[in-house]
Amino acid sequence: MRPVILDVDTGLDDACALLLAARHPELDLKAVTCVGGNVGLDDVVINTLTVLEAAGRTDVPVARGAAVPLLQPVRAAPHVHGTDGLGDLDWPRSTRTTDGRHAVELLRDVLREAAATGELVTLIPLAPMTNIALLLRTYPEAAAGLHEIVFMGGAAGIGNATASAEFNIWTDPEAAAVVLTAAGELGVPVTMYGLDVFYDVVITMEQARGLGGSPSADLARRLIEKRSELYKSDGASIGDGGAVCAVIDPDGLTTQPFPLRVELSGSWSRGRTIVDTRDWAADLSSDPHGPSPTVVQVATAVDGARYAELWLSTVK
């Protein structure tokens, strides 16, 4: 089993990812940490506990983290996730309480234990990376417990929150920049599962209608139905769930190593992930900025049908 931690701002697609991580037999879900993003932190926490309860995983510790980004207000996305983040499904809400530690403290403790035992953890941020930035700068020694970071965010060529920027990076670009810099300094491998592949793992309504018979399968069906309704389509992407698929089955994802930076200024480009695809030495040598010292495996293609079947077979 592969130890993993999810860092989430639980909306509809984070819920798809949580169900997969909680139910897949090859993943050991050590903890889930919460951050403000798709909705406010209070809703994120309740949504996360609710999804884990539906998945039968009340054993997984859940911790509250940063409520707002490092330098700007939180920017919710009710047009994508509903006012409560779970599509206003009226699903029974969990009454379980969170771990007493702050998310950064829970991350620190789990990773310190992982470093001591040698069972290194894959960290899967599916949200603005505020918690992860605070962790790596406050407790850099915790990185010894990391096998890799696989984050959902960014893109090589498209945006959604703006024409340039993907939502998770745009919401806290400073945090993303800190995480990339720290990962490079600390030698932590990073994979970016961005918008270039985000929309390509689709569950059709026909497939969704075959889900049922347990709380996790019922919730999975409702999530796809709601996302299909919001997008006015005959199916829906599992979104963040694809990043968890990539951890379980990396052969279904095509990646290429590229230097990566985050744009922190610019009227139209703040929050954009700058993927440096240049390979001509003369261009690189004449660039006053130089290439980014942090090289990231950037997802460029995904076997959507393969990952869709992986998700379906797990949640049902």
**Strand bridging mode 121-125 / 62-64:** unpaired
Residue recorded with tokens 């798809």? 16
3-state helix, strand, coil in the chain (%, to 5): 40, 20, 40
- Sign of the torsion angle spanned by Cα atoms 1, 129, 49, 202: negative
How is residue 76 written in tokens? 């919710």
Active site residue 9: yes
User: Residue 66 and residue 47: Cα distance in Å, rounded?
Assistant: 16
Pairwise CA distance, residues 221 & 84, whole Å: 18
Close Cβ partners of 171 (under 8 Å, ≥ 6 residues apart): 37, 69, 74, 75, 128, 161, 271
Instruction: Name the active-site residue from 9, 43, 109, 196.
Output: 9
200 Cβ partners below 8 Å, 6+ apart? Answer: 237, 242, 302, 304
Q: Which residue in this structure is represented by tokens 């996360």?
A: 48
Helix (H, G, I), strand (E, B) or coil at 30: strand
Q: Integer distance in angstroms from the first to the last C-alpha of the chain?
A: 20
Which positions are annotated as active-site residues? Answer: 9
